Amino acid sequence: MHRSIVTKAGDAGRTRLIYGENVSKADLQVEAYGTIDELNSFMGLARALCESAPIRSTLEQLQRETFIVGAELATPVKNLHKLKARVTAEMTQALEAHVAEIEQLPGLLDDWALPGATQAGAAIDVARTVARRAERCVVRLSDAALVPNTEVVRYLNRLSDLLWLLGRRYEIERQVNGALLK
């Protein structure tokens, strides 16, 4: 039997959340997990462009974690107990540890950076801005009591911080002139 991803079920502007609840494609939950999917794709682009093995490894780990974020956001509150993995304080703490490590680099926090000094750095910056948008989507969901796990917002906040730092680290390690605004 031939399987296809074309179901035509979405042709009427509807989709299903995890565990089958039918919602509009304009639903806040769909917007939030769709933004996480976009974030994951941009982190993948950054990883493909990146020449630093440690940063590539970090980006891959972050991609794996955003699948957990996306699943949590794509699940109705009443079914969250069915998920195998949820966003945890430990996940956020791991991001904070990465942030603290990178912040030790001399000159890193001297000024803001102008995106685009390298292709990989620019891709990481795009991922960062998508992470910020995802965070805003999740805050709207939280305000509507559709994300009971407050760790999701904290995680996304730290993730965008880490992505900014990863972009700067990448460019500083490559001694790219103009990575920081002067």
pLDDT for 175 equals 79
In a 3-state reduction of DSSP, which class is residue 14? strand
Half-sphere exposure of 26 (CA within 13 A, CB side): 2
User: What single-letter amino acid sits at 40?
Assistant: N
Q: How far is CA 98 from the centre of its chain?
A: 15
Is the pLDDT at 176 greater than 80? The verdict is no
**Mean pLDDT along residues 136-147:** 94
Is the pLDDT at 111 greater than 80? The verdict is no
Is the pLDDT at 180 greater than 80? The verdict is no
Is the pLDDT at 148 greater than 60? The verdict is yes
Q: What is the CA radius of gyration of the chain?
A: 18
Q: Which of 16-30, 31-45, 143-157 has the lowest mean pLDDT?
A: 16-30
Half-sphere exposure of 155 (CA within 13 A, CB side): 25
Rounded Cα gap, residues 30 and 137, in angstroms: 10
- Going by pLDDT thresholds of 50, 70 and 90, the confidence category of residue 54 is very high
Q: In CATH, what class is 21-173?
A: mainly alpha
Distant-in-sequence, close-in-space partners of 160: CB < 8 Å, separation ≥ 6:
128, 131, 132, 135
CB 157 within 8 A of CB 93: no
pLDDT for 21 equals 87
Rounded Cα gap, residues 182 and 169, in angstroms: 17
Please list the residues that pair with 14 across neighbouring strands.
Answer: 24
